[in-house]
């Protein structure tokens, strides 16, 4: 602990020097090699290093022998320090669990998106206060595991009032600094109440609602719009309608694509310039090529510090290893995507149906052990990759000026994340320069 009782208590402007860092993964974008975009270069990882935090930001990094003086100091005892995980895909606004569905799946049933309706029922029934408490508890779990930047989605409301409620909750937590990004996922599933029978509206009317009145209500509270482009959810034409309406409302685009089959979601995401397409389990060569071809698309400045424009830049392929395991799906071909030159992120997809975990460390370990990524590739995908998928430059690295979001490992080197799978290796977490409990 800091000698003076904690950085949070110190006045603005006070600085903290952290020493005893055996390995410091700065992943500083200023040190990227333009000839090898997406790769970690040697000088982005320092040995025997030190770091200074000031005003919630990284003020200095370098060799311990050259560390400047600071108002307070703490020795981390020879541990590795990484940027906090950037989890660019989660669905935290829900009530209820689906353990029985999961158990049936482990007994041989396949995943069907129908469970979204079960969670939607439970979520609609929850009070505002209960929903807020549940979401905050899930954020705390994520942070305790080293996650310091977190996106979350609506998508278990699926009426104007319920989607608005979820968006307002997420947005209030973004304003409070507890969450970082909020996404509208009204196009999660066409529920049975839109079956077109006995005078009830049908799927086309639901698409109309999502891209019209529901979007108009929710858009002021979110930065992103997402769609589940999959057989049984929204086909590419319906997905395109929703996404185009979202773009016209000023939102950035995200897509759940090619999770259960070759849905056309990846091609659509690349065509429309989505910031991210997530799941990517079932890819043909044209899908891989389409994603790789977006890698050279330039990003553009955004409308605030640390933000890039939502509508420019690569379409990041986001692998969700915990979801792949929990649904016994073919693992996303992350190795193939990187080899082809696509931009890659790794996220948790925490949700009650397909991935009831926010453990990013587990995802990174799985990416190394099962997806054949190097540790550096997996680590970068779970930090810088997520930041690019969220069009952010202030997180995912520890270059000077970045948010002081640190993940201190109880290990001398980050390779222990894969070498010691499942061990509790998170020692300390700083978020916005503040040590977390």
Binding residue ranges: 89, 91, 98, 156, 188, 256, 259, 349, 351, 353-354
Among 40, 92, 113, 347, which residue interacts with ligand NIG (rule: CB under 6 A)? 113
Told to check if 27 binds ligand NIG by CB under 6 A, we report no
From the list 387, 344, 384, 346, the residue with the least C-alpha distance to 364 is 346
For position 351 contacting ligand NIG by CB under 6 A, the verdict is yes
- Shortest Cβ 240–ligand NIG spacing (Å): 18
Q: Does the protein bind ligand NIG through residue 228 (CB under 6 A)?
A: yes
Picking from 398, 399, 379, 408, the residue whose alpha carbon sits closest to that of residue 39 is: 379
| Residues whose CB is less than 8 angstroms from the CB of residue 35 and which lie 6 or more positions away in sequence, other chains included | none
Burial 193-203 (b: 16+ CB within 10 A, else e): ebeeeeeeeeb
Instruction: Name which of 273 and 352 has its Cβ closer to ligand NIG.
Output: 352
Q: How many other C-beta atoms can be found within 10 angstroms of the C-beta atom of residue 129?
A: 8
Q: Is 154 one of the binding residues for ligand NIG (CB under 6 A)?
A: no
Could you tell me the two tokens for 320?
A: 């969700």
Q: If binding is defined by CB under 6 A, does position 258 make contact with ligand NIG?
A: no
Site string for ligand NIG, 310-349 (x = CB under 6 A): -------------x-------------------------x
Binding annotation for Fe(3+): 89, 91, 256, 349
Q: Given the complex with ligand NIG, which of 61 and 349 has the nearer CB atom? A: 349
Report whether 272 contacts 226 (CB < 8 A). Answer: no
Q: 387: how many CB neighbours lie within 10 A of its CB?
A: 26
Buried b (16+ CB within 10 A) or exposed e, 80-91: bbbbbbbbbbbb
Residue numbers in the known binding site for 4-imidazolone-5-propanoate are 98, 156, 188, 259, 354
394: tokens are 């202030």
Q: How far apart are the first and last CA of the chain?
A: 11
Stretch that binds ligand NIG, among 197-205, 266-274, 350-358, 415-423 (CB under 6 A): 350-358
Number of chain residues interacting with ligand NIG (CB under 6 A): 14
Q: Site residues for ligand NIG, window 42-61 (CB under 6 A)?
A: none
**Closer CB to ligand NIG, 25 or 184, in the complex:** 184
Please give the distance of CA 74 from its chain centroid, rounded to a whole number.
30
Helices and strands in the chain, H and E counts: 15, 15
Q: Which stretch binds ligand NIG (CB under 6 A): 72-80, 111-119, 262-270, 358-366?
A: 111-119
- Using the minimum distance from each CB to ligand NIG, give the nearer residue, 194 or 228: 228
Residue ranges binding ligand NIG (CB under 6 A): 91, 113, 115-116, 119, 228, 256, 259, 323, 349, 351-354
């Amino acid at each position: 602990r800091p000698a003076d009782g904690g950085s949070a208590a110190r006045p603005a402007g006070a600085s903290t020097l952290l020493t005893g860092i055996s390995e410091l993964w700065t992943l500083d974008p200023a040190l990227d090699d333009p000839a090898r975009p997406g790769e970690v270069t040697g000088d982005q990882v320092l040995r025997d290093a030190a770091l200074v935090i000031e005003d919630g930001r990284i003020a200095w990094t370098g060799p311990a022998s050259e560390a400047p003086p600071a108002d307070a100091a703490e020795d981390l005892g020879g541990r590795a320090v990484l940027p906090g995980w950037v989890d660019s895909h989660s669905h935290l606004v829900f009530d209820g669990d689906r353990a029985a569905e999961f158990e049936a799946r482990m007994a041989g049933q396949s995943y069907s998106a129908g469970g979204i309706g079960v969670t939607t029922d439970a979520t609609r029934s929850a009070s505002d206060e209960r929903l807020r408490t549940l979401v905050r508890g899930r954020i705390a779990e994520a942070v305790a595991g080293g996650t310091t930047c977190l996106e979350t989605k609506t998508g278990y409301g699926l009426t104007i009032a319920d989607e608005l409620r979820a968006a307002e909750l997420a947005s209030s937590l973004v304003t409070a600094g507890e969450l970082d990004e909020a996404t509208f996922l009204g196009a999660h599933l066409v529920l049975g109440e839109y079956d077109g029978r006995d005078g009830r509206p049908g799927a086309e009317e639901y698409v109309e609602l999502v891209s019209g009145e529901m979007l108009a209500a929710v858009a002021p509270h979110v930065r992103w719009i997402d769609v589940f482009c999959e057989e049984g959810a929204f086909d590419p034409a319906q997905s395109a309608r929703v996404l185009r309406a979202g773009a016209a409302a000023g939102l950035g685009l995200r897509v759940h694509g090619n999770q259960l089959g070759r849905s056309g979601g990846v091609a659509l995401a690349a065509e429309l310039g989505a910031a991210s397409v997530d799941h990517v389990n079932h890819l043909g060569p044209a899908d891989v090529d389409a994603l790789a071809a977006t890698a050279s698309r330039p990003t553009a400045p955004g409308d605030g510090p640390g933000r890039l424009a939502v509508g420019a830049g690569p379409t990041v392929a986001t692998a969700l290893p915990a979801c792949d395991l929990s649904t016994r799906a073919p693992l996303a071909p992350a190795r193939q995507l990187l080899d082809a030159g696509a931009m890659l992120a790794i996220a948790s997809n925490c949700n009650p149906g397909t991935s009831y975990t926010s453990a990013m460390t587990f995802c990174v370990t799985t990416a190394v052990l099962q997806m054949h990524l190097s540790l550096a590739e997996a680590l970068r995908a779970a930090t810088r990759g997520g930041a690019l998928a969220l069009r952010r430059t202030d997180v995912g690295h520890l270059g000077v000026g970045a948010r002081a979001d640190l993940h201190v490992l109880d290990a001398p080197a980050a390779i222990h994340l894969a070498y010691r799978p499942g061990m509790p290796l998170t020692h300390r977490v700083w978020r916005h320069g503040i040590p977390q409990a």
